[in-house]
Amino acid sequence: MDRRTFSTHALAAATAIATGALSACRTRPETEATAAPHENAMVHLIDELADGDPAQRALILPVTPRRIAMLVYPGMYPLDLLGPKTVFNDLLNTRVHLVAPTLAPVPAGNGVSVTPDVTYETCPTGLDVIFVPGGGDGTVRLMQHQPTLQFLRAQAETARWVTSVCTGSLVLGAAGLLDGYRATTHWVTHDVLRLLGATPVQARVVEDRNRITSAGVTAGLDMAFTLTARLAGENYARAEMLNIEYDPDPPFRAGSPKRAGKKITNALAGMYAGIVASATTAAKMRTRG
């Protein structure tokens, strides 16, 4: 079974377990039970990962469906969204929503367009996770978009986890959701976090109570696995890491300012100076408000 079929079989197994269809399959003719081998394999996987612990099994396959809402907006970095979404899609009995002000396709940049399935008005409440990806100028605009900030504040009141990737934490901060929290963001905007009431931390993933924020772009996968462990247990998170073969071994150790060195860091910092200045102005406007 490759990872492209994992979610399909996982959903089939979850549905079968919930309805008792697995036992029924065993009494049906073989031609009517073609999905049973895949479903049985998923059941075996769940049992193995639960280590015989009913509580762990209930985490892996909850009776009540989990609900995750991932914000989409023009100018976000596609990988900020698509990396974590790949991991969240493999959580069992979980519905992952893409949310925006309208259902119109959203240009995410780099030729990628994302189509929401719920709006701010139709998005479920009482979410397990509300998630904000990062970006550049689009993120700065979102920091000042009152309907989005109001939506995030309302969802954060009942969400189990409030999360972000990269500069998505600036949007959370602009909504007042990081006041008094430790948090991280893309390295170029760390100082902006302080203006938004957060305590900046240089780390790939920062967890403070029910807030989980991550550093730039690729750190979103680290955040997604951290959150998966909280939702479905560490064994399931480890299994999903193996499922998508997440075993980073980059050709260069240059993914942080310290490792990249001053020359490369200064060059990138100069390139992003305009965005950082705009984000700083937006953060100060929120502070004054």
As annotated, the active-site residues are: 166
- With H, G, I as helix, E, B as strand and everything else as coil, classify residue 30: helix
CA–CA separation, 287 vs 144, rounded Å? 12
CA–CA separation, 57 vs 49, rounded Å? 8
CA–CA separation, 139 vs 269, rounded Å? 17
CA–CA separation, 138 vs 119, rounded Å? 18
Helix axes 78-88, 219-232, angle to 10 degrees: 30
Residues 6+ apart with CB under 8 A from 83: 165, 217, 218, 220, 221, 224
H helices present in the chain, as ranges: 3-19, 21-25, 36-50, 54-60, 78-88, 137-142, 146-156, 168-174, 190-195, 219-232, 234-243, 257-260, 262-271, 273-288
Q: How is residue 217 written in tokens?
A: 């772009």
Asked if residues 131 and 71 have their Cβ atoms less than 8 Å apart, the reply is yes
